Homo-oligomer: A and B are copies of this chain.
Amino acid sequence: MTGFFNVSDLHTVLALAETFPATEVEKVPLSAALTRILAEDVSSDIDIPGFDRATMDGYAVRGADTFGASDAAPAWLRIAGTVGMGEEPAFSLSQGEAAAISTGGMLPQGADAVVMVEHTDRVDEETIEVYRSVAPGHHLITRGEDFSKGRVILTAGTPIGAAETGLLAASGCQSVAVFKRPLVGIISTGDEVVPVTETPKMAEIRDVNTHTLSAMVTEAGGVALPLGIAGDGEGDLEPLLAEALASCDTVLISGGSSVGMRDRTLTAMEGLEGSEVLVHGIAISPGKPTILARVGGKPVWGLPGHVASAMVVFEVVVRPFLLAASGSEATDRPKVPARLSRNIASAQGRTDFVRTRLVPEGEGYIAEPLPGKSGLIHTMVHADGLIRIEKDTEGLYSDSQVTVRLLP
CA distance A267 to B166 in the complex (A): 28
For residue A406, CB closer than 8 A to chain B, the reply is yes
Chain B nearest CB, measured from A86 CB (Å): 4
Interface residues on A, range: 35 or more
CA distance A240 to B146 in the complex (A): 30
Given contacts A141-B375, A203-B87, A334-B336, are A259 and B50 in contact (CB under 8 A)? no
Given contacts A163-B311, A406-B334, are A192 and B85 in contact (CB under 8 A)? yes
For residue A104, CB closer than 8 A to chain B, the reply is yes
For residue A261, CB closer than 8 A to chain B, the reply is yes
For residue A168, CB closer than 8 A to chain B, the reply is yes
The answer to whether A170 touches B375 (Cβ under 8 A) is no
Residue from A84, A334, A373, A408 whose CB has the most chain B CB atoms within 10 Å: A334
The answer to whether A161 touches B50 (Cβ under 8 A) is no
For residue A123, CB closer than 8 A to chain B, the reply is no
Flag A206-240 by CB within 8 Å of B: 1 or 0 each: 11111111111011000000100000100000000
The answer to whether A30 touches B196 (Cβ under 8 A) is yes
CA distance A219 to B403 in the complex (A): 26
Within 8 Å by CB of A401, from B162, B168, B226, B363, lies: B363
For residue A271, CB closer than 8 A to chain B, the reply is no
Q: How many copies of this kind of chain does the complex include?
A: 2
The answer to whether B208 touches A85 (Cβ under 8 A) is no
Within 8 Å by CB of A106, from B203, B311, B376, lies: B203
Stretch with Cβ within 8 A of B (4 or more), from A51-59, A63-71, A177-185, A243-251: A51-59
For residue A202, CB closer than 8 A to chain B, the reply is yes
Q: Which residue of B lies closest to A159 (CB)?
A: B408
The answer to whether B376 touches A141 (Cβ under 8 A) is yes
The answer to whether A50 touches B88 (Cβ under 8 A) is no
Q: Which residue of B lies closest to A172 (CB)?
A: B196
CA distance A105 to B337 in the complex (A): 40
Chain A positions near chain B (C-beta within 8 angstroms) = 3, 30-31, 34, 45-46, 48-51, 53, 55, 57, 84-89, 102-106, 117, 141, 145-147, 153-154, 161-170, 172-174, 190-193, 196-197, 199-216, 218-219, 226, 232, 255, 257-261, 305-307, 311, 334-337, 363-364, 373-378, 380-381, 383, 401, 403, 406, 408
**Given A46-B200, A106-B202, A363-B401, 15 more contacts at CB 8 Å?**
A30-B211, A31-B211, A31-B226, A50-B204, A50-B205, A88-B202, A88-B203, A103-B305, A104-B255, A146-B377, A146-B378, A162-B219, A167-B378, A168-B211, A169-B196
